[in-house]
Structure 1
Amino acid sequence: MFVETLNGLKASGRPLMVHLWRKYVLVPIGTLLMMLLLYGINEIIKKTTVNFPASVCLMLLMYGGLSLNSWLFGEHRTDIFLKYVDIPCGFALRWMNLYFTPPFVTLVLSDKVSVAEAFTIMAVYIVGYIFTFGFMAYFTWGLQLLLGTYKLHAKQDEKDEESQIPESSEQDEVNDNASKQSSNTIKEETTWEDKVRDFVLEWIDFFIYGLLFIAGIPVYFVTGYEMPVQLATAVLLFKACLFIPAKLRRVLHPILISFALCLLVYYILSLIKGQNYFTCIRHYRTGRTYLTLFDSEAYPEWPGAGDFLLSLMDISIVSLSLSMYKYRGDLKRHFASVLPPIILCAFMSFFIYPPVCYRLGISPARSLGFTGRSVTTALGIPLVTALGGSTQLMAVTTIISGILGVLVGDFLVFKVFRVRKHDFVSRGVSFGLNCGAVSTYYLTVVDPPAGAMSALCFTFFGTLMVILSAIDPLVRIAQKLVGW
């Protein structure tokens, strides 16, 4: 009996050891190696006159390299490389939403906005958001009709409609009985060792980050360094928000709930220590990421929790290349339907959004910040910085666009604008040009082909916008449009 129990514990302990080895050894090593590669690429880019994100550069290089390698040596050898790349990239994609919380946390540090300007910003944002969704969806749909690629979706719809035959009540009863029989089977096969294993695997991360939180408290109160306790708080609260039921989670999005709870915890800790709350939040994001880690003169303060999470966000941006590679056939086949909307959206964002905002009474800096409203944060920061706009407004509107895409994007696309459900091209383009990386991650889960299209769109769209912002005459034109 004792030997059987010992063997059972050993068997249940193996998955735990694999989990710890992969998540806390292999993933950090892979992430560190990828950050070193990104750092090298960033140093090369700094030698040029173009301010381009290293993360997006590596994403494009990886997508091109994977496609070329597959063409030259076959998919089998490429899959071997993907097996190792997926260790840090898969982890980064799964936790991508967590990395978008820092701009919300630092929102309390932004300049005050008058009530009139706040309502104007809200109105411009809502109208522009809905208009972009509908216009880009219909524009892409029309291009597919013109190029003859839309008929593929129509055939797929017909097949699905034919296959959706309601089952008889007898068949329902058979299925219910089979389900019940299987569920009794499951109870019999579930041993106490399995229950212990499942419990430990579910709560081990809470235990580890709980230890980090406990260790971070004396570090914070003795030395004043907030990063350990703030990082542990951000991870623990975000993981706790994932326990919200899936239906409620679409409304109570983990990004919004966790950042609000983080602010509350940080406020309580600052009160206990007697530290100014705004100073505590400034230390949350000092700007010293892995790219500026060795530049102590420009960034004298140590990295904060926000800098750590934003550094990991670069890995998640690179990881989108894996989804693009997987659906490279669809990207190639529909590229002609995707490129014109990207070019048109870039023109509208660069030369129409800012003057419209300015004429309606929004300040010049915030008007220029609207150019990055639908550009992902990694690309929007260098874009709006080059224009002299408000990066804070850009970051918040970008992430809100992504969250709204998760909440109401499908309703707008399928119900309001009547896009066919299997037209993943129009769906992906409208999400990619309107919602950025947050909704792209959502699409990669619920509709991978549309997610690949969305990744392609927001990448090329953001790249084009950054290129436009690197051309001084165009920057001066955009600034003159807002009275500068």
Structure 2
Amino acid sequence: MLVETLNGLKASGRPVLVHMWRKYVLVPFGTLLMMLLLYGINEIIKRTTINFPASVCLMLLMYGGLSLNSWLFGEHRTDVFLKYIEIPCGFALRWMNLYFTPPFVTLVLSDKVNVAEAFTIMAVFVVGYIFTFGFMAYFTWGLQLLLGTYKDHVEADEKDEECRISESNHNNSEQSSSTDKEEVAWEVKVRDFVLEWIDFFVYGLVFVAGLPVYFATGYEMPVQLAAAVLLFRACLLIPAKLRRVLHPILISFSLCLLVYYILSLIKGQNYFTCIRHYKTGRTYLTLFDSEAYREWPGAGDFLISLMDISIVSLSLSMYKYRGDLKRHFASVLPPIVVCAFMSFFIYPPLCYHLGISSARALGFTGRSVTMALGIPLVTALGGSTQLMAVTTIISGILGVLVGDFILFKVFRVRKHDFVSRGVSFGLNCGAVSTYYLTVVDPRAGAMSALSFTFYGTLMIVLSAIHPLVRIVQKLVGW
């Protein structure tokens, strides 16, 4: 009996050790290597005249490199590279939503907005959000009809769905009776329990260790980072149906503000000072620039640095569905160009003439651009990056919560039309909803990644042309 128990513990312990080795050794090592590569790319970009994010540059390079390698040497050899790339990239994608919480935490530091302007911003956001969904979906759908690509992929999807349903029913009829009678072994229960709670234990230790560091030295990063991860991880325990409403980004950042407030009260520290130290701007890209960034990195800087890895990781989804991207590229490009023109030349003056301040009106140019691209875009225009960051993430969260309802119920887009779905989400909701699509509809997720990448890239190019920037600034009274 004792031997069986020891063998059971050994069998349940091996997956835990593999989990720890992969998550706390291989993932950090792979992430560090990718950050070094991004740092090098950023240093090269800084010597040019274009302010372009290194993360998006590496995403495009990785997608192109994988596609070229597959074409030259075959997919089998490319899979060898993918096995190693997936270690840091897969982790970054799974935790991508966590990396979007810093702009919400620092929202308490933003300038106050009067009631009239706040309601105007809300109205412009809602109307523009719904309009963009419908317009881009119908535009993409019409192009597919014109080019003759719509009917083929819809019929193929319907056949695939019928085959999956038939195969599923066949397997269930054979296996249901035997599955019901099987009992899960105790060692499996132990393994699953440990894997479920090991992260809480690790980050709980970091939180406890960070408390004396914070109270003795005043450095907040360890305790704030541990609290952010623990609270976000706890929000993932909410049932899936409720998470569609109680989104982990919104719930975890609110709880983070509460925890940080309690800690600042205990230490006797000014709350706003505590939040300012949460994000000092000293990310991995500015880590060695101690003259411009004198304060140490905060928890927000750490999470924003990891967000760059998650942006790069979207190239894996684009590579996997590169055939669909190539086949439907002609249906995707025109909506991107039109959306860029509208966001750059129509959004800002419309917001300004409705009573929104010049800086916030310019901030709306990045409303549907992912943060990695939106920050350099809005900075080049002289707009409000805080408004851009918040509206971008809210756009993504709303895409997860109500995007499918707007698309399928309000505008009656067919669920099999992954091209229109991906383009609409990519041009309206950015990276947050793109991650959501990579889980529920991978082909639409690939289309979304392609859309927001090319759209953001085009916006960056426009913002690098100084005469165009001056035109937009004059449209908002500057």
Under TM normalisation by the shorter chain, which class is it? over 0.9
2:6 aligns with 6
| Partner residue of 2:458 out of 445, 453, 464 | 464
Amino acid at match of 1:155: E
Amino acid at match of 2:100: F
- Matched residue SS, 1:294: coil
Deviation of the 1:344 alpha carbon = 0.4
Cα gap change, 1:328 to 1:194, in 2 (>3 Å): same
2:379 aligns with 385
Contact 2:92/2:313, CA 8 A, preserved across alignment: yes
Aligned equivalents of 2:392, 2:97: Cα separation in 1? 13
2:16 aligned with 1:19, yes or no?
A: no
Deviation of the 1:7 alpha carbon = 2.0
Deviation of the 1:196 alpha carbon = 1.4
Structure 1: which 5+ residue stretches go unaligned?
none
1:97 aligns with 97
Deviation of the 1:464 alpha carbon = 0.5
- Matched residue SS, 1:281: helix
Amino acid at match of 2:459: M
Aligned equivalents of 1:334, 1:178: Cα separation in 2? 40
Deviation of the 1:369 alpha carbon = 0.0
Aligned equivalents of 1:73, 1:223: Cα separation in 2? 55
2:470 aligns with 476
2:212 aligned with 1:212, yes or no?
A: no
Contact 2:158/2:416, CA 8 A, preserved across alignment: no
- Matched residue SS, 1:361: coil
| Partner residue of 2:228 out of 208, 227, 234 | 234
Deviation of the 1:8 alpha carbon = 1.9
1:428 aligns with 422
Deviation of the 1:164 alpha carbon = 10
2:270 aligned with 1:273, yes or no?
A: no
Deviation of the 1:191 alpha carbon = 2.3
Amino acid at match of 2:29: I
1:327 aligns with 321
Structure 2: which 5+ residue stretches go unaligned?
none
- Matched residue SS, 1:10: helix
Contact 2:207/2:227, CA 8 A, preserved across alignment: yes
Amino acid at match of 1:278: F
| Partner residue of 2:189 out of 167, 189, 195 | 195
Deviation of the 1:399 alpha carbon = 0.2
2:118 aligns with 118
1:66 aligns with 66
Aligned equivalents of 2:30, 2:335: Cα separation in 1? 36
Amino acid at match of 1:14: R
1:183 aligns with 180
2:299 aligns with 305
Aligned equivalents of 1:152, 1:301: Cα separation in 2? 57
Contact 1:92/1:316, CA 8 A, preserved across alignment: yes
Aligned equivalents of 1:175, 1:161: Cα separation in 2? 16
Q: Which moved more, 1:112-121 or 1:153-162?
A: 153-162
Cα gap change, 1:5 to 1:44, in 2 (>3 Å): same
- Matched residue SS, 2:113: coil
Amino acid at match of 1:292: T
- Matched residue SS, 1:356: helix
Deviation of the 1:179 alpha carbon = 3.3
- Matched residue SS, 2:36: helix
Contact 2:374/2:389, CA 8 A, preserved across alignment: yes
Contact 1:156/1:422, CA 8 A, preserved across alignment: no
Aligned equivalents of 2:108, 2:7: Cα separation in 1? 54
Structure 1's consecutive aligned runs of 4 or more residues displaced over 4 angstroms after TM superposition are 160-166, 174-178
2:108 aligns with 108
- Matched residue SS, 2:443: helix
Count of matched residue pairs: 477
| Partner residue of 1:243 out of 237, 241, 244 | 237
1:349 aligns with 343
Amino acid at match of 2:98: L
1:238-278: CA deviation from partner (whole Å, max 9, x where unpaired): 00000111111000000000000000000000001000000
Contact 2:347/2:361, CA 8 A, preserved across alignment: yes
Aligned equivalents of 2:52, 2:143: Cα separation in 1? 30
1:284 aligns with 278
1:210-233: CA deviation from partner (whole Å, max 9, x where unpaired): 000000001000000000000000
Aligned equivalents of 1:471, 1:418: Cα separation in 2? 39
1:140-174: CA deviation from partner (whole Å, max 9, x where unpaired): 000001111011134246547877999xxxx99x9
2:355 aligns with 361
2:76 aligns with 76
Contact 1:405/1:431, CA 8 A, preserved across alignment: yes
Deviation of the 1:198 alpha carbon = 1.3
Deviation of the 1:184 alpha carbon = 2.2
Deviation of the 1:181 alpha carbon = 4.1
Contact 2:282/2:293, CA 8 A, preserved across alignment: yes
Cα gap change, 1:165 to 1:393, in 2 (>3 Å): closer
1:421-459: CA deviation from partner (whole Å, max 9, x where unpaired): 111000000000000000000000000000000000000
Aligned equivalents of 1:162, 1:2: Cα separation in 2? 51
Amino acid at match of 2:206: L
2:131 aligns with 131
- Matched residue SS, 2:296: coil
Deviation of the 1:2 alpha carbon = 2.3
Contact 1:42/1:291, CA 8 A, preserved across alignment: yes
2:140 aligned with 1:146, yes or no?
A: no
Deviation of the 1:386 alpha carbon = 0.3
Q: Which moved more, 1:66-75 or 1:147-156?
A: 147-156
2:411 aligns with 417
Contact 2:45/2:52, CA 8 A, preserved across alignment: yes
Deviation of the 1:192 alpha carbon = 2.1
- Matched residue SS, 1:433: helix
Contact 1:323/1:448, CA 8 A, preserved across alignment: yes
Contact 1:90/1:319, CA 8 A, preserved across alignment: yes
Cα gap change, 1:215 to 1:414, in 2 (>3 Å): same
Cα gap change, 1:435 to 1:272, in 2 (>3 Å): same
